[in-house]
Amino acid sequence: MKKTVMILMVAFLGTVLISGAAFGQMMNKYETLAKNQLAPIGHNKHIVKYTQEKNAKGETMDQINALDTKWKAADGVTDFMKPYLDGPCSDYLRQVVALVPYLSEIFVMDNQGALVCETDKTGDYMQGDEAKWQKSFNNGTGAIFVDKPEYDKGFGTDVLQISVPVMDGMKAIGAITFGVFADKVK
pLDDT in tens, 75-90: 999 999 999 999 999 9
Instruction: Indicate if the pLDDT at residue 97 is higher than 90.
Output: yes
**Distance between CA atoms of residues 166 and 49, nearest Å:** 10
Checking if the pLDDT of 7 tops 60, the result is: no
The band of 13, judged by pLDDT with boundaries at 50, 70 and 90, is: very low
pLDDT of residue 127: 96
pLDDT at 28: 86
Average pLDDT for residues 138-166, to the nearest whole number? Answer: 94
List 158's β-bridge partners, or say none.
Answer: 151
Asked if residue 105 lies in contact with residue 119, where contact means CB atoms within 8 angstroms, the answer is yes
Domain 2-184 is found in CATH 2.60.40.10: no
In the prediction, which pLDDT does 186 show? Answer: 80
- H/E/C letters for each residue in the chain? CHHHHHHHHHHHHHHHHHHHHHHHHHHHHHHHHHHHHHHHHHHCHHHHHHHHHHHHCCCCHHHHHHHHHHHHHCCCCCHHHHHHHCCHHHHHHHHHHHHCCCEEEEEEECCCCEEEEECCCCCCCECCCCHHHHHHHHHHCCCCEECCCEEECCCCEEEEEEEEEEEECCEEEEEEEEEEEHHHCC
Asked if 6 contacts 129 with a C-beta cutoff of 8 angstroms, the reply is no
Read off the pLDDT band of 154 (50, 70, 90): confident
Model confidence at 8, pLDDT cuts 50, 70, 90, reads very low
Q: What is the pLDDT of residues 166-181, one digit of tens each?
A: 999 999 999 999 999 9
Task: Return the pLDDT at 136.
Answer: 97
Per the CB < 8 A criterion, the answer to whether 165 and 174 are in contact is yes
* Helix runs in 100-144, H state only: 131-137
Average of per-residue pLDDT across 36-63: 96
